[in-house]
Amino acid sequence: MSNWQELRDNPRLVRIYRQRIDIIHYIRVFFWHANFLEVNTPLGVRYPGQEPYLNPLPVNFHDLYGQGHQFYLQTSPEFAMKKLLAADFDKIFQICQCFRDGEAFGGQHNTEFTMVEWYRAPGTLENIMDDTENLFKFVAEKLAVKKIKFKGKEIDVLGKWDKMSMKEVWQKFVGVDLDDFLEIEKMKKLALSLGTQVGEHDAYEDLFYKIFLNKIEPYLGIERPIFIYDYPASMSSLSRRLENDARYAKRFELYIGGLELANAFGELVDAKEQRIRLEEDKNKRKSLRKETWDVDPDFILALESGVPEAGGIALGVDRMVLLFTEARDLNEVIFQSVKDQLNY
């Protein structure tokens, strides 16, 4: 969305923004009716997550005596919400602003974006899949939308949704058994054989997504939404591993029209294992020459206190609005996006 003048003078943009307001309202109503408790956690955090490929925005606070304190704008409310699980808040959701540095402006990304995140404890990934499908269908019915029109395709959101494992989609679109490519050297050879550019310092996840984003993602959820589940464990540091195959983790993503909408975990609640994995992510950040910080000690303490087996998910509200309103890009669904503000 360009600015307040275009919003005022352009009926199409007015419609999109009013629909955005309605969609956020319907999201809340859905969770209220499902007996979830809406929570609010701080945007500024002392210890952000350790994800190697996410970049928190640093902010400095000063106390009454002028002493500076380093904080970061959240990339996700995940740690804070899991602390609430430890405090026996067992079904919770939050609609909030998140921030990630180093994002492209416009299109499908924005440095500041709106997320809805929710957790069930106890809960499984299957429960979260059901929540996600039911949420989209609830919003679609409220908006009287039977099919989503995106990139020239009509996607049936009210009918049956698809589910495929990550192994199945690699077999279908790349023609390989992912079991054979869970090590970096083997993935590097596969990437080269497919004509994919391989960088000297590419990590396994880099190579995985170079192939996935070009050979697989554009074809996911073209006729109806699809859940892709069971990701390589090395790419899922916050997820429990599969009981029958520790090489894979309990994680899924939702795709509609080739667009990724949500990322969900069968939450890892073992404090000792979680600390090990977060330290590994921190070391990976170091190897990438990125800023590092300590693992959040209060998060580990919360896990040590005992959290039931849980499922959780983060869903991009702006992208959801994009699909339901037939907007061209995120600039049309975010009032005064970063790109808009830079242009004025």
Which SS3 state, helix, strand or coil, does residue 268 take?
A: coil
List per-residue pLDDT tens for the chain, 344 residues long.
Answer: 456 777 778 888 999 999 999 999 999 999 999 999 999 999 999 999 999 888 999 999 898 899 999 999 999 999 999 999 999 999 999 999 999 987 766 678 888 999 999 999 999 999 999 999 999 999 999 999 999 999 889 999 999 999 999 999 999 999 999 999 999 999 999 999 999 999 988 899 999 999 999 999 999 999 999 999 999 999 998 999 999 999 999 999 999 999 999 999 999 999 999 999 999 999 999 988 899 999 999 999 999 999 999 999 999 999 999 999 999 999 899 887 766 666 65
| Domain ranges, ordered by start, for the chain | 4-174+216-342
The pLDDT value recorded for residue 204 is 93
Closest by alpha carbon to 135, among 319, 320, 330?
320
pLDDT at position 288 is: 86
Q: What is the pLDDT at residue 1?
A: 47
The pLDDT, as a whole number, for residue 341 is: 65
Question: Which of 65, 66, 48 lies closest to 57, judged by CA?
Answer: 48
**pLDDT of 304:** 96
Contact present, 314 and 133 (Cβ < 8 Å): no
Q: Calculate the CA dihedral of residues 137, 141, 144, 147 and round it to 10 degrees.
A: 20
pLDDT of residue 336: 72
Q: How far is CA 298 from CA 71, 86, 117, 267, in A?
A: 15, 11, 20, 17
pLDDT score at 318: 97
* CA gap 150, 327 in Å, rounded: 9
CB–CB of 222/156 below 8 Å? no
The pTM score is 0.94
Residue 343: what pLDDT? Answer: 65
316 Cβ contact partners less than 8 Å away, ≥ 6 residues apart: 113, 114, 115, 261, 262
pLDDT of residue 312: 97
CATH number of 4-174+216-342: 3.30.930.10
